[in-house]
Structure 1
Amino acid sequence: MIIENQYTEFKSSFNEAVIETLCAFVNAKGGEVYIGLDDNGNPVSNFSIGKETIQNWINEVKNKTQPSIIADIEVVIVQGKEVARLRVNEFPVKPVSFKGRYYRRINNSNHQLSAIEITNLSLQSLQLSWDSYPAHGKSLADLDIHKVNAFFERVNSMGRFMLEGSWIEKLHKLKLVQGAVITNAAWLLFAKESTGYNVHLGRLKTPSMIIDDKMLNGTLFDMVEETMRYIIGQIKVAFEIKGMPTQRTEIFEYPLPASRFERDSSQCHYP
């Protein structure tokens, strides 16, 4: 039995709502629209497919979408009656628009995309991300060379991979620099000054009562270390004394590895 879901929709006749749904499907994981069925999946009595019907549908879908959608259309039998099935796959270059609007299939409905959702979908389609784009108005002079060198020393000491050359050459190899222009990622990682992005930390007694909060600003590495220091400062610590000679062992309320934190900053692991 056919049911409506994230990948399937029923329409009693061909109209612009069908094209909207096909657009939503190609911007998600693909899907199919059955034309000639009511909401319960039963054939409607007044539906028929003429000689030119399918070609007209193909042309209308193609002309009203950008980039153009070419749907696979076939006639299938449901409960002894002919209905049309329009099938589309996920489109490789997204988003696709219908009459200037963008939709995406979420669960069993079409969701109209906002401006930021359109931008994110386009970047995902091109396998790009915001951090790979040039940092507007920033250059190599805005990077802290000491932070850059400390990062590469740490990377090389971990043995995951070795990078040779000057610090600028290394940044080029990691695609953090494009010519003389730095990427947003390089700016967030190695900026000399405040990046303008914050991490807001807080400790709550109840869902509505904040008993302590702190705003952090700096590079990503700085904020990771400061965040972990804040967390460690807020959790309880017990001490166990044992052995000869006696040794004191700290027992944290929560295991430190669960917070991806090492007490020795030289052993901090960054993604």
Structure 2
Amino acid sequence: MEWKESWQDEYLKWICGYANAYGGTIYIGTDDDGNVVGIDNARDLLERIPNKITDTMGIIADVNLLYKGELEYLQIIVDKYPSLISFRGKYYYRSGSTMREITGKELERALLKTQGRTWDGVPLPKLSVSDLKQDAIQLFKDKAVKRGRLTKEEVSVEDAILMDNLHLIDEDGYLIRAAMLAFYKDPEKWVTGSYIKIGYFGKSDSDLVYQDEVHGPLIEQVDKTVDLVYTKYMKALIDYEGVQRIEQFMFHKDAFREILLNAIVHMISSY
């Protein structure tokens, strides 16, 4: 709730912020404590303000003329809107006494949220099932059957049917971003930085001894990264049982794989 002695067009930003947050009320013709001081042009503003709100934001707010004795003042009631509202091409959010512009990744997340989508659920109209890497799809099939997630019959279908069964195709028939990340041969074409970088450091954080980058579909990146870490980066304790060499690493491969997968998922969810 806000109390203002007179109307200024800048308050349209606040109305936009209320619509994008939880709604709110502005009183025009009151002091900072909510005491009515009245305004002389209440009836003129009663017509102008609703028009300004509709013209600049495409929404409707209730603008009411109130009285206290002989004093006239206005009440503007703004409802929360399910879709994100813009004011002259910009998006605002009002929380408590703070009003700020929504930009960057926060704006993208807010837009997707109002559409009922997540970042990885955005459709990619220019991507088709035939563009996906067959080796990556086959790797998924082999792993899914081996781990009992899917049966041989369930993976022995056309790629388009498999993608649809995995909910990687939206209601309009487009592959979504998650399909691209998992199976496209070069996901960096669509999302910059969608690769894994490994670094081996010496005695300090600035002492980078050597590094590697793992590119390609994410489902392949995971296996390649695990193999690379355990063959090049991770040291093992060596023991022997007769002539058999036994290697014991600091982390079991399955545990490291879980850590790596969690890191990838958290990175994706941060967009």
Match status 1:154 vs 2:143: yes
Q: Deviations over 1:68-88 (max 9, x none)?
A: 1424769699xxx99765443
Match of 1:220 in 2: 218
Match status 1:171 vs 2:169: no
Match status 1:104 vs 2:97: no
Between 142-151 and 187-196, the greater mean CA deviation after superposition: 187-196
Q: Deviations over 1:243-268 (max 9, x none)?
A: xxxx9794627997476159xxxxxx
Alignment RMSD (CA, Å)? 4.6
One-letter amino acid matched to 1:16: D
Q: Distance in 1 between matches of 2:114 and 2:146?
A: 36
Q: Distance in 2 between matches of 1:193 and 1:46?
A: 65
Q: Distance in 2 between matches of 1:254 and 1:76?
A: 74
Distance change >3 Å, CA 238–CA 118, structure 1 → 2: same
Aligned equivalent of 2:197, options 189, 194, 200? 200
Q: Distance in 2 between matches of 1:143 and 1:149?
A: 11
Structure 1 residue 126, shift from structure 2 partner: 1.1
The alignment's TM-score, normalised by the length of structure 2, stands at: 0.64
CA contact (8 A) 1:149 1:167 kept: no
One-letter amino acid matched to 2:50: N
Aligned equivalent of 1:143, options 109, 121, 132? 132
Instruction: Show structure 1 runs of 5+ residues with no match.
Output: 1-7, 242-246, 263-270
The alignment's TM-score, normalised by the length of structure 1, stands at: 0.64
Distance change >3 Å, CA 199–CA 51, structure 1 → 2: same
Aligned equivalent of 1:42, options 10, 33, 38? 33
Q: Distance in 2 between matches of 1:36 and 1:209?
A: 64
Match of 1:134 in 2: 124
CA contact (8 A) 1:131 1:185 kept: yes
Q: Distance in 1 between matches of 2:239 and 2:22?
A: 55
SS at match of 1:134: coil
Q: Distance in 1 between matches of 2:137 and 2:60?
A: 47
One-letter amino acid matched to 2:218: L
Match status 1:11 vs 2:4: yes
Higher strand share: 1
Structure 1 residue 97, shift from structure 2 partner: 1.9
Structure 1 residue 20, shift from structure 2 partner: 0.7
Aligned equivalent of 1:27, options 5, 20, 23? 20
Distance change >3 Å, CA 71–CA 44, structure 1 → 2: same
Structure 1 residue 19, shift from structure 2 partner: 1.7
Q: Distance in 2 between matches of 1:148 and 1:88?
A: 50
Distance change >3 Å, CA 171–CA 29, structure 1 → 2: same
Q: Distance in 2 between matches of 1:259 and 1:49?
A: 70
Match status 1:91 vs 2:81: yes
SS at match of 2:93: strand
Between 229-238 and 182-191, the greater mean CA deviation after superposition: 229-238
Higher helix share: 2
Distance change >3 Å, CA 186–CA 51, structure 1 → 2: closer
